[in-house]
Chains A and B, each alone.
Chain A
């Protein structure tokens, strides 16, 4: 029988969000089930808001689930953010005791490990200096050293390795490796650093929108994750796509979303779709028609962006150049979209690329009403007026 250190059963966490008196619920975790064997290192990956932090918070008992159950065999300590539970007025030595106690160790245990901690951190000289005089690097070293040297059977690590110099990072990774093999310690490790994840983890779970998207061998999952991340972007090169249709008189070479928020698309905020095209033979193009059909998922039609239909005829444009589709208030709702592009020149289809582009829109206050849909629900905001007056017709 496998020795299970952490057993998560149908764990859900729902947050009530109150915006202008309206209650909305938001599922940060949605029925997640997972088993972690003793002595294994489990990597947790996912984009921001995928539920990684919520999961760790529940495991470390900072917050409680809305439903579901976790059973943890053995003492668990979490290193969620460096320096939490440090006091700047106290010396490094005092902070080791303070931090250790908060992490659940007795003074005796800390004393036994004290020399190891100090040596590992490499800041022996400053151990009696108040930590407010430490550099941020020293801070990180000390904090990590405390958690790494104290010996919980299960350790939770969230992104701490993102800070600190490369050499110390390497040292931490080695220490984690040692801990795993020698002491049989179970580690749950959240990181955006795929190299570290691949290097350390036996198994990786990929969370997306509060659910487990994939779970399995580290390399495979990180590869899938990275591929997925690249597909959703604010720009895409189309030049290399071979699967296109049309006469090829002029072709679409690149699409990019421009926004004042530097790459983030937010509902209701200004945004511009920049369309680069290229013609090998023509200096000018007459009667251009762009038809960009936007889908939710891959099949479901949402809306068409069409310069002709919207009354913006483009009679004469350079043979190679850029077109812009401007939105004063981006009407896309929070969610992911794919675009299939068509370019017509003089009424003939010149180029067509299916699923040319995937983009993501973040939630925003489209109507300036204070209302923000928290749900990921692709769709379109439309103008609407409400009152109690009957219309004139």
Chain B
């Protein structure tokens, strides 16, 4: 009879062991995701409709602010198609960062009482966000259909979504474990995301951002991965130039994710003591 042996030492879990445990029981990820989705819509009248209302309001807000008031120009692409193609990823990013950052603090009692692969908590949030993303993607499909904009490029969404998820979960993993000790971080997230929203070309074209930065420094904007991903997606969807510097964004995303996983596992063994 083969038995799994667990050895507990002061060093805690190794990275390989932590990852193996997570994948040995993929049902845990699924269960957490299911729980969050169920809880989110429990006792709401509108239920799933909220997933539609949120991007609609967001779209209306940027339409008034950026298009009507600020007079942002998006060339041949109708503003609604342009903004929505950015918002669907931004909303997903913002949701996953917020949720995964709070994923440990919100279940402190559980962390103090039971062992389970804790990586499942922040990672699970990236699946929860998929429902909202799916609804928003459908909205973009409808808007583009109505406005006669290209649809084929929408099929590239899994690539951009994956890259966005890696970035968001990577950030979430770091913030969630640090904020067990320093709760202040939880207060900073909304501001930080708001600030990031304004310096990311979600509701305005990237040319506008580049125009305020000296040419020789323009590559810096790609260190914000979302900037690169949106350029990539819009390029694939609506045509137009995709800078080779987008690679910087892809590499940043991977680095953020790997750093997040390593950091999370390193701090994992002290989590219960810090609560």
Chain A residues in the interface with B (C-beta under 8 A): 15, 57-76, 78, 80-81, 84-85, 87, 89-90, 94, 97-98, 101-107, 130, 153
Given A69-B7, A98-B31, A153-B3: A60 touches B110 (CB 8 Å cut-off):
no
Q: Give A136 Cβ to nearest chain B Cβ, in Å.
A: 16
Which residues on the B side are within 8 Å of A130 (C-beta)?
42
Complexed CA–CA distance, A58 and B111 (Å): 13
Specify which of A57, A84, A106 is in contact with B109 (CB 8 Å cutoff).
Answer: A84
C-alpha spacing A90/B35, complex, angstroms: 8
Q: A62-B115, A80-B113, A153-B3 are in contact. Are A104 and B25 (CB under 8 A)?
A: yes
Closest residue of chain B to A12, judged by CB?
B10
Question: Chain A: which residue is nearest B109 at the CB level?
Answer: A84
Instruction: List residues of chain B with CB within 8 A of the CB of A65.
Output: 8-10
With A89-B43, A102-B28, A102-B110 as contacts: A61 and B115 at CB distance below 8 Å: yes
Beta-carbon contact of A62 and B27 below 8 Å: no
Known: A73-B3, A78-B115. 4 other contacts (CB 8 A): A58-B8, A60-B115, A64-B10, A90-B38
Which A residues are in CB contact (< 8 Å) with B28? 101-102, 104
- Cross-chain contact of B7 among A70, A80, A97 (Cβ < 8 A): A70
Whether a CB of chain A sits under 8 angstroms from the CB of B16 is no
- CB-based contact A106/B25 at 8 Å: yes
* Nearest Cβ on chain B to A278's Cβ, whole angstroms: 52
In the assembled complex, the CB of B211 is this many whole angstroms from the nearest CB of chain A, namely: 49
Q: How distant is the Cα of A15 from the Cα of B115 in the complex, in angstroms?
A: 19
Interface size on B, as a range, is 20 to 34
User: Within the assembled complex, what's the spacing in Å between the Cα atoms of A209 and B160?
Assistant: 56
Nearest-CB distance from B82 to chain A (Å)?
Answer: 39
Contacts of B32 in A (CB 8 A): 101
B:1-58 near A, CB below 8 Å: 3-12, 25, 27-28, 30-32, 34-35, 38-39, 42-43
Q: What CA separation (Å) do A81 and B43 show in the bound complex?
A: 27
- CB pair B4–A75 under 8 Å, yes or no, is yes
List residues 217-266 of chain B with CB under 8 A from any CB of chain A. none
Q: Is B114 an interface residue (CB 8 A)?
A: yes
Contact among A89, A97, A104 with B116 in the assembled complex (CB-CB below 8 Å): A104
B143 at interface, CB cutoff 8 A: no
Q: Is the CB of B114 within 8 A of A63?
A: no
Chain B nearest CB, measured from A260 CB (Å): 31
B181 on the A face (CB < 8 A): no
Distance of A232 Cα from B131 Cα, bound (Å): 61
Selected contact of A98 from candidates B35, B111, B113, CB within 8 Å: B35
Chain B interfacial positions (CB closer than 8 Å to A):
3-12, 25, 27-28, 30-32, 34-35, 38-39, 42-43, 109-116, 269-270, 272-273
What are 19 A-B pairs at a CB distance below 8 A?
A62-B111, A62-B112, A63-B269, A64-B269, A65-B8, A65-B10, A70-B8, A70-B9, A72-B6, A75-B3, A85-B110, A85-B114, A89-B39, A97-B31, A98-B35, A101-B31, A102-B116, A103-B114, A106-B27
When distances are taken between beta carbons in the complex, the residues of chain A under 8 Å from B10 are: 64-68
Bound form: Cα–Cα A62–B25 in Å: 18
- Measured CB to CB, the closest approach of chain B to A156, in angstroms, equals 10
A130 vs B4: C-alpha distance when bound (angstroms): 35
Q: Nearest chain-A residue to B6 (Cβ)?
A: A72
Give the residue name and chain of the B residue nearest to A65 (CB): B10
Give the top 9 A-B pairs by smallest Cβ distance, nearest first. A61-B115, A101-B31, A84-B113, A70-B8, A89-B42, A64-B269, A72-B6, A63-B272, A107-B27
Q: Are B7 and A87 in contact (CB under 8 A)?
A: no
Distance of A227 from chain B, by nearest CB (Å): 33
Q: What's the Cα separation between A107 and B7 when bound, in Å?
A: 26
Please name the residue on chain B nearest to A70 by beta carbon: B8
CB-contact partner of B35 in A61, A72, A87, A106, under 8 A: A87
Q: Determine the chain B residues whose CB is within 8 A of the CB of A68 once the complex forms.
A: 9-10
Which residue of the partner chain, among A59, A78, A94, A97, contacts B8 with CB atoms under 8 Å? A59
Report yes or no: A71 in contact with B5, Cβ–Cβ below 8 A: yes
Partner of A101, one of B4, B25, B111, B270: B25
CA distance A85 to B12 in the complex (A): 23
Q: Are A102 and B114 in contact (CB under 8 A)?
A: yes
